[in-house]
Structure 1
Amino acid sequence: MNRFHNKGLKGIVSKLQHFQQNKLRYEILFLVCYFIINATILATSVVMEAQRKSDNLPFELWEPFIWEYTSALSTLMLFPCIIFFLNKAPLNWQKIKQSLAIYFAASSLFSVSHVAIMVALRKLIYLSQAGSYDFGNIAYEMLYEYRKDLWAFIFFVAAIHAYRFILSRLYGEANPIQEGEEEKTTDAPVSIERLLVKKLGKEFIINVTDVEWMESSGNYVNLYINDRIYPLRSTLGKLSEQLIDKGFCRIHRSHAVKLDAIESITPLSSGDSEIKLKSGKVLNLSRRYKEHFKLSLT
């Protein structure tokens, strides 16, 4: 029984690792499929409702699909902005009124941007069909659209938080293991030796010296060890300082690398360089961090 259990657990871990390595592709695929399916259902609902009321449609059959697809496309284009906003302005429960005011302002900006892109796309499409698109009374239509966009914004925020929470439990969020009980008496960064990872009902101890490179990901830093990824709640700047005595160096605003994991460095005509790791991974060395990187090598 234990043999089959362990085999099944390894299979789950393998699938999680595959998902981690292709996470962005799967996320984009899911979002595109979701918006296409949702827009198609809404468009066909408009057609069916109109047919129920009259045998003659008050619009061309293709128009509801243009209305819904342009709305979906504009939302899809703005989705990275929502994620960026959540990373920069996470909900602060200690200052909830201030956070709600910021989120209300963000939802208003989201709605205005959504409508602007949507209407622009519709006007271009109608123009290509030798027609014209009339948005209607701006004040009324903006209020009408904001009513829907506010609910969509709330749904997206909740869905993103739920998605991140589930991933943190499946991936196994890493946490530094405190060395001793001494109180911190200086402002210097506390060095990290090992990490504790709780994943799929088990606990793992990871030495930070096994980490090959690190990548900033919102409120987390993804730690790469071979083909595995462990998220740690921190900023890349702070974590790089904590691991500087372990031979890590920041090489980009989004990346840091362990110096012993580097195989070769290739200068580029742009002034940047490519760093190839022994694992085969290629990272960009930004001009901004090149001088600091050279000093780290000495």
Structure 2
Amino acid sequence: MELLFWLLLVLINCSGNAITTWMDANRSGAASMQWWEPWVWEFSSGLVWLLLVPAIVWFSRRWPLHLDNWRQRLPWYLLASVPISLLHVLAMFALRMLAYAAMGERYQVGVWVDELLYEYLKDVRTYAAILFCIDGYRFLRRRLQGEAQLLAAPDEGPPVEPIEHPERLLVRKLGHDFLIATADIEWAQAAGNYVNLHLRGHDYPLRITMAALELKLDVACFVRVHRSWLINLAHLVSIEPLEGGEALLHMSDGSEVPCSRRYLPVLKSRLSEDRELSLPA
């Protein structure tokens, strides 16, 4: 679905720009322009942006922007725009040269410093638009799937359950609140400042670090298996060893969770302890 969105966005945007460029050229009497040139210009740029989107998605997931950190991270986003624009321009010019050569023409590049600066001023706006689309999609997805949060202490009286080790989490979805049991969480994956809690085929983002979540969950049920992953032992089906001392964990819902070499001995030790405890005396 995400790939289809980006494909349609590039197709519609590039086609619209190519058509308007051709119409403007005819209106101004630029007879030297060939009909295929606007299409090469636009789609060479759009194709490269399409290839750069996964890197931008990864960067924004690794260091997400929020209201509480945008002052510290915005300079890094601006700094990242420079190599992204450079990659975009160089790859775009290479594609145009190939396309022009295929048509028996030669693509002319002006003064490189001027061209790079001109393209950067355009690229930084496209870069910002891509980030806006990514954050907008994530916001909409959290609202549709539901966003989890820890239960807060009541204004009056003692809490119904321990706040430090809650048995339930509050999930808000489409304006409605409901509770989920922490024991029902099958696995969790870190995503920037959030941790996605997976249960019954749904992911519920919880704004917390993986280390903090690990301290709040029941250690008898959950175990850390990777820097970015944590599983519920009750939903572990099998362990598939991999080269390099790592492993792939097969979960009851069909998901595959990576287990790093660092955490694999811990997982096996926990499983051995649980098996010994389950044996009759």
Identify whether the pair has TM-score above 0.5, normalized to the shorter chain.
yes
Report the AA paired with residue 11 of structure 2: I
1:128 deviates by 4.2
Q: Residue 134 of structure 1: SS of its match in structure 2?
A: coil
Change beyond 3 A, Cα 1:165–1:274: closer
1:282 deviates by 3.0
1:34 deviates by 0.3
Number of the residue aligned with 1:107: 81
Q: Which whole-Å deviations, capped at 9, do the CAs of 1:101-147 have from their partners, x for residues lacking one?
A: 33332233332222122112223333444543222121222222122
Structure 2: gaps of 5 or more residues: 156-162, 274-281
Q: How many residues align?
A: 265
In the alignment, structure 1 residue 68 sits paired with structure 2 residue 42:
yes
Q: Residue 262 of structure 2: SS of its match in structure 1?
A: helix
Pick the structure with more helix per residue.
Answer: 1
Number of the residue aligned with 2:268: 294
Q: Residue 191 of structure 1: SS of its match in structure 2?
A: coil
TM-score, structure 2 normalization = 0.82
Report the AA paired with residue 260 of structure 1: A
Quick check: 1:209–1:246 contact (8 Å CA) kept in 2? no
Q: Residue 49 of structure 2: SS of its match in structure 1?
A: helix
Instruction: Give the stretch that moved more between structures: 37-46 or 190-199.
Output: 190-199
Structure 1: gaps of 5 or more residues: 1-25, 182-188
In the alignment, structure 1 residue 50 sits paired with structure 2 residue 22:
no
Number of the residue aligned with 2:139: 165
Quick check: 1:50–1:58 contact (8 Å CA) kept in 2? no
Change beyond 3 A, Cα 1:138–1:244: farther
Number of the residue aligned with 2:99: 125
Number of the residue aligned with 1:251: 225
Change beyond 3 A, Cα 1:157–1:67: same
How far apart are the structure 2 equivalents of 1:222 and 1:96?
22
RMSD of Structure 2 on Structure 1 (CA): 2.7
How far apart are the structure 2 equivalents of 1:78 and 1:164?
18
Identical residues among aligned pairs (%): 37
Q: Residue 226 of structure 2: SS of its match in structure 1?
A: coil
How far apart are the structure 1 equivalents of 2:250 and 2:214?
19
How far apart are the structure 1 equivalents of 2:36 and 2:21?
11
Q: Residue 75 of structure 1: SS of its match in structure 2?
A: helix
Change beyond 3 A, Cα 1:235–1:57: farther
Q: Residue 171 of structure 2: SS of its match in structure 1?
A: strand
How far apart are the structure 1 equivalents of 2:35 and 2:96?
15
1:79 deviates by 1.7
Number of the residue aligned with 1:40: 15
TM-score, structure 1 normalization = 0.77
How far apart are the structure 1 equivalents of 2:228 and 2:178?
26
